[in-house]
Amino acid sequence: MSPSASVAIIGVGVVGARVARQLTSSGISVLVHDERASAQHSLALSLRANELSDLTKLDPTTTPVVVVATSSGQAPLVKILLELGHHVVCTSDDVEDTRELLELDEVARYEKRALVVGATACPGLSGLLVAELAPRVDTIDEIHVAFHGTGGPGCARQHHRALAGDAVGWHDGEWIDRPGGSGRELLWFPEPLGGKDCYRAELPEPVLLHRAFPEVKRISARMSATRRDRLTARLPMMSPPHAEGGVGGVRVEIRGSLNGERCTEVAGVAERTGIIAGAVAASAAMAVARLNETVSGVITLGDGQLNDRALLDDVIRRGITVFEYIGSGA
């Protein structure tokens, strides 16, 4: 990225604000935009950043990368940004929105722009962790992801809806839908989270991970939930979501074979969800800014189009600690 170039951030909720802070701490100039003028002005003032009132006036020569961190569907706006000549990093965790973003691959290739889909905690960091664990086995045949916690209010509402939706999964060569809130598993996250009951939910991980690891036979995603969460999933939220959730967690488990024997590798993270998402999206934005025009189209974290190891290292340098399960006998 040119020293004079900047990154635009659209949506300055919990995740967008974290992205802005991560980038400014790395010496990157940012432009901020939000439909809520007061939130936009407050963040710009605290970071000494420039405000952006009209998205159509964004210049791709001075602002080559845009991070979209809105809580609503991102695909329509992303299409416009690609056509204006920007690389785009998305933070959506909605399944239908994710599918619409993946369908913009042809648009991104035509414009010779990169579109990173799912650059947040889960999806996003989950893909990087799978890519990190993959070389430890000869073959991978299963990937299982679990998520705990929420970022801002928009994220909390989306996860509330996810428990009531259809959980998509990849099973022996075909897509399957299971009811959200089913399939309870007790899964262990890094401390201080510990064990959490996790259930199937309408999460985009299987869609994105299948794109990055098409040879894997089974891919599933679960999220933690309480009994109350499951009982009220099909009702409006009973109480307003917190401004920012507490400590969240990402857990990735791969199963495969090594030297002819079955083996399992597990890694995870425990940190505020907004902090994780902000670090991942900021790292992805800087990685995309360094791309040349020979790399274009849709990118998912873990698919190898970016340097996934370097990207994970950058996320760790931003304060995210990755834990690995090494067995009770260690």
CATH number at residue 56: 3.40.50.720
Q: How far apart are CA 73 and CA 199, in angstroms?
A: 24
Does residue 324 lie within any of the structural domains? no
Looking at the structure, tell me whether residues 189 and 254 fall in a common domain. yes
Does residue 330 lie within any of the structural domains? no
Please answer whether residues 200 and 167 qualify as being in contact, where contact means their C-beta atoms are separated by less than 8 angstroms.
yes
Does residue 1 lie within any of the structural domains? no
Host domain of residue 19: 6-121+275-317
Looking at the structure, tell me whether residues 137 and 214 fall in a common domain. yes
> Given this model, what pLDDT does residue 2 score?
62
Does residue 215 lie within any of the structural domains? yes
Rounded to two decimals, what is the model's pTM? 0.93
Q: How far apart are CA 117 and CA 211, in angstroms?
A: 11
Looking at the structure, tell me whether residues 97 and 167 fall in a common domain. no
> Given this model, what pLDDT does residue 54 score?
85
Looking at the structure, tell me whether residues 108 and 178 fall in a common domain. no
Does residue 249 lie within any of the structural domains? yes
Q: What six digits make up the tokens of 322? A: 């990755």
Q: What six digits make up the tokens of 135? A: 């070389």
> Given this model, what pLDDT does residue 330 score?
46
> Given this model, what pLDDT does residue 181 score?
86
Looking at the structure, tell me whether residues 150 and 236 fall in a common domain. yes
Out of 272, 291, 308, a domain closes at 272
| Burial call 40-69: b when 16+ CB within 10 Å, e when fewer | beebbeebebeebeebeebebeebbbbbbb
In tens digits, the chain (330 residues) has pLDDT values of 665 689 999 999 999 999 999 999 999 999 999 999 999 999 999 999 999 988 888 999 999 999 999 987 999 999 999 999 999 999 999 999 999 999 999 999 999 999 999 999 999 999 999 999 999 999 999 999 999 987 666 666 666 677 778 899 999 989 999 998 899 999 999 999 999 999 999 999 999 999 999 999 999 999 998 877 766 666 665 565 555 667 999 999 999 999 999 999 999 999 999 999 999 999 999 999 988 677 899 999 999 999 999 999 999 999 999 999 886 544
CATH number at residue 142: 3.30.360.10
> Given this model, what pLDDT does residue 210 score?
97
Looking at the structure, tell me whether residues 134 and 268 fall in a common domain. yes
> Given this model, what pLDDT does residue 291 score?
83
Looking at the structure, tell me whether residues 201 and 256 fall in a common domain. yes
Does residue 284 lie within any of the structural domains? yes
Looking at the structure, tell me whether residues 136 and 239 fall in a common domain. yes
Looking at the structure, tell me whether residues 101 and 206 fall in a common domain. no
How many structural domains does the chain have? Answer: 2
Looking at the structure, tell me whether residues 40 and 113 fall in a common domain. yes
Looking at the structure, tell me whether residues 83 and 202 fall in a common domain. no
Looking at the structure, tell me whether residues 97 and 233 fall in a common domain. no
